């Protein structure tokens, strides 16, 4: 198992003597003004779908109908009334921010109402993933990387059971429940990049404190695929980006 379980003196003198402590403070302020980094700004935007509206796909439930119901939607493409796309991974690549890193902490993946929640999330490398079961039926969390390589595979047979796994390997994980709940899917983007986010139910996203410059913005959706484009973050302003899937 690859995921581990568990200013000058003359000008001042015109106003009288300057106390030593104040001199030290002014000197420090002057030095800071020399080494202060370029002002950091934000990138805000929305991901939209312009194509024809797709009908939701439903699957017949063959197991645990008393909890999961008789039919379940796949929920692969969730759109707002304005056609904003939910659950899109958004990442800015190439930002040189040596002092900003993601703090591992704890992330949560819950089996609730016979679906994984959240469906899509960003997690830092080294995060402790807490896998929960909020349903009174057996669920599993089977995480797969590219080429269907298993990263972890845990069973949660009991209501309110919790299993913890450390995610040490960067990359995109696809999580399934392989005990007959074929509609259940989740995606976890494990990364050291602090400039990554997931769109909300309206398709909106925000990435904060980005040093001004020109970078590559990449978006990914489980059904619509990947779009990559250039984005310029201006000094003293906010970059507004609209990404549209055709």
Domain ranges of the chain: 1-6+101-192, 7-35, 38-100+194-246
Do 123 and 107 meet the contact criterion of CB atoms below 8 Å apart?
A: yes
Architecture of domain 1-6+101-192: Sandwich (2.60)
Cβ atoms 164, 5 nearer than 8 A: yes
Start-end of H helices in 36-128: 65-68
Helix/strand number for the chain, H first, E second:
3, 19
Q: Where are the beta strands (DSSP E) in the chain?
A: 4-5, 41-49, 58-60, 71-73, 89-93, 106-112, 115-117, 120-124, 127-133, 139-144, 150-156, 162-167, 171-176, 185-191, 196-198, 204-210, 213-221, 225-233, 239-245
Cβ pair 146, 157 in contact under 8 A = no
Which pLDDT does position 72 carry in this prediction?
Answer: 97
What is the fold, at CATH topology level, of the domain defined by 38-100+194-246?
Immunoglobulin-like (2.60.40)
Taking the model in full, what pTM does it have?
A: 0.81
What confidence category does residue 96 fall into, taking pLDDT thresholds of 50, 70 and 90?
Answer: confident
Q: What is the average per-residue pLDDT within 29-38?
A: 35
**Helix, strand, or coil here: 146?**
helix
pLDDT (0 to 100) of residue 152: 96
Q: What is the pLDDT of residue 14?
A: 29
């Amino acid at each position: 198992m690859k995921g581990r379980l568990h200013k000058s003196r003359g000008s001042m003198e015109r106003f009288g003597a300057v106390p030593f402590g104040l001199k030290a403070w002014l000197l420090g302020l002057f030095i800071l003004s020399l080494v202060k980094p370029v002002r950091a700004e934000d990138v805000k935007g929305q991901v939209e779908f312009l194509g024809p509206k797709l009908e939701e796909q439903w699957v017949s439930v063959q197991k645990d109908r008393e909890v999961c119901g008789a039919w379940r939607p796949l929920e692969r493409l969730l759109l707002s009334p304005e056609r904003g796309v939910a659950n899109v991974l958004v990442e800015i690549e190439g930002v040189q921010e040596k002092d900003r890193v993601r703090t591992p902490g704890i992330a949560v993946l819950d089996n609730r109402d016979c679906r994984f929640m959240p469906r899509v999330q960003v997690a830092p490398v080294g995060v402790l993933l807490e896998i929960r079961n909020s349903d009174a039926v057996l669920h599993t969390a089977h995480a797969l990387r590219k080429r269907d390589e298993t990263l972890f595979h845990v069973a949660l047979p009991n209501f309110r059971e919790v299993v913890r796994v450390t995610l040490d390997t960067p990359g995109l994980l696809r999580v399934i429940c392989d005990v007959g709940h074929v509609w259940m899917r989740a995606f976890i983007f494990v990364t050291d990049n602090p400039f990554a986010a997931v769109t909300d139910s309206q398709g909106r996203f925000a990435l904060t404190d980005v040093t001004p410059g020109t970078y590559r913005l990449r978006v990914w959706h489980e059904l619509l695929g990947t779009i990559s484009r250039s984005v310029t973050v201006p000094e003293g302003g906010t970059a507004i980006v609209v990404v549209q899937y055709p």
